[in-house]
Structure 1
Amino acid sequence: MTGGRLARRTGPLFLAAGVVTLEFAAAVTGFVASSLLPVVTADLDARDDLGLLIAGSTLGLFVALPVASRVLRRLGTRGTLAAGMVAYLGGLALAASARSAWMFALGQFSAGLASGLLAVFGVSAAIRHLDERLRIQVIAVSSAMWILPALVGPAATLGLERLVGWRWTLLLPVPFVLFGRLMVVRAAKGEPPEEGPPRPLARTLLVPLGAAGVVLGGGWWPLTIAGALVTVAGMIAILPEGTARLRPGTPAALGAMVLFAAGYFGADSLITVLLTSGFQVSLGRAAIVLGAAPLCWAVTSLVATRFTAARRFPAAGLGLTALGTAVLAIALAVGGSFAVVLVAWAVGGIGVGLAYPGLYIRATTAGPDGFTAAELATAVITAECLGQLLGRAIGGTLSSSGGLFASYVVFAVALLVSAYAARRAG
């Protein structure tokens, strides 16, 4: 009896620890991949295939999202976790031993596919087993997991690459991923998969098809726009009904997540370009601004979640981020200083820190809509990842044609509409 009560108490803690560890692993993976990209490109003589090197893991993730619920239903909990770990380790091994860009991309695709499957399982388990108070704390701590990799990740990665080479360095995230998965497996051991009506597969596969057009378009704007439109069509098929109309409740929260990701991550992706080309600032000083927003995001999230009113922060926080983004656009148009840009983008990060935990909770709470945990997990990951993809695609397309000011106006408007959607989420 005592053992049963202890298991009920420790199970959520193991799950929370696993989710946080996996977020840290995702941060390490991202910084390792971006830091090693120039080295991998040179070693594989893949300067003309840069899109392939970057796109593999992204496309794998987008293939995983529409099929994750089917895999869980077909293979069950243990089968999905086993298949995901085999695909992840096999994909990394293939990428690390690659002799061509295509082989590297295939390995990254397999690892991205596995990461998507395992992420849907982990998030859905958190939705089912963690109460709202613990979940919002886990979200805040997960955001803070990006601080250390952001500060030391690039330098540590390049130092390790000099010692053992990029192939072994690529395997650096594996221990963190394995530990995180072990915690999640222990917490969700023996859990039966959820039952729910599957969405039409053909329409949901429009997401990876459109994403391929966006990430492999090579900057050719007709293909980028066509890919974005196809991606949006697939996204509407995956997300719960009413998301595109910002129907009050969970659908509005998911719509706010898409718009937030498009506006914030789109603006973030062009910060260094804005500073170096628009304000003639050195790359070193631009990096200070680039790091200010995520640092403010992480610290503010940790503080904001201590307040019981954290659920009320999303609209105000997103409005604050929209204001910071608008200031960047105005400074670009009429002139501004480095200090103005630094403060504006730091304020944008504070706004995200206020908004994100509460918005994530709203987007992953079924309420009266009756969504399953697997549906909500797939939906929130889809909303955030595709919002990022679309924001960066829009920004890249506009800025490449000289429309950097227009890009930041679009990002500010997207964030403002996301604040409105967050209010409709309740």
Structure 2
Amino acid sequence: MPSGARFVTTELKDRPSITMAIMFKVGSRYETDEQAGVSHFLEHMFFKGSAKYAGAKEIAEAIEGVGGVLNAATDKELTMFWARVPRTKAKLAVDVLGDMLFDPLFDPKEVEKERLVVLEELRMYLDSPQEYVHSLFEQISWPNHPLGREIGGTEASVRALTRDDLLGYLNEHYLLRNMVVTMAGPLNQEEAIGLIEPYLRPRGNGTVPAFLPSTGNGLSPNVLIKQKKTEQAHLCLGVHAPSYMDKDRHVIDILNCVLGEGMSSRLFLEVREKLGLAYDVHSYVNKMFDTGVLGVYAGTEPRQAARAVGAIVRQLRRLCEEPVNEPELTKAKEFYKGRLLLQMESTNSVATWYGGQEALTDRIEDVEQTVAEIDAVTADRVMGVARELFSQALQLAVIGPFRSETPFLKQIA
């Protein structure tokens, strides 16, 4: 569009719902240490009232009053606001999201009340070791870097943010040139643009913000222990991985499926079924613009924690030492493709799948292209990527009743 805003519409004539999402290419990665948590704080404030919808109650009732869902999420590189409503209520979804995002009130009293809510959310997260250990893993993977910071910031940074800080960050980052509107459901591109365009109001100077480039993976194995009296030890270990711009972005997806996605994956069968060391053990991949991470999580009895780490590391080494056999490779591909296709049943998933690609990569790979890329992955390339990944030093975060990192260092060295 002339304003710089981009629109992505997926017409699905047979669907009973419509999803609209508005995405801004901004998140915790774009923040300075002093601004830590401002993207997440802003996400909360957009729900606290706008010119047409006076407060949180009015915003929620407008969407929930038709059985719809309204939500938002802040990540490291993207902030998204979305609504899913019955197909006849598309104009309502556009009206609510448009007014929230382009005519927000930011009432000073609401800022102070919501600050308390954000702080409670941070405390809740810190009290959930199975969640918090992932933040510690990112901290040790990107020390002294925005990628290693908690998305919500810290208590100190959130307490220090002022209303002027929020408005300043809003005008710097929430620009039309930095925005993608994506809709999926029984409407076409022309109809979608006609609905949302009247709400788009320019702000800021139009310059798309930049972020600090990623730093390399640690050169030596490191263990970060958060000593806490828990019934179960929580472990997260891994290395840097290909970005969503990398030619091997789909190879790492298949490697991850082989390693730790689902109850037939290697980690599940070995660490849980064979050794009985964990109830929950799985691997995951997070991709960003210039980096990514392959992580493994396990929850285990504290006395078995070091042994569990050793069992996980053996599976990582196995990927480097022997090619995945054809039946296992086929299973991993079918798993990935099947989950992707099932995901496309929801207008919410369709809208965010296509819109997220446009927002982050400036290009769109459709489902058929992705399936073809997955089918082209070979066992040799999976082993080649594994060798590249695990030539890096492993980084490990642990929460539990531990005083020494030595037993864990022995396992990841």
Please, what TM-score do these two structures have when normalized by structure 2?
Answer: 0.32
Please, what TM-score do these two structures have when normalized by structure 1?
Answer: 0.31
| Larger relative strand fraction | 2
| Larger relative helix fraction | 1
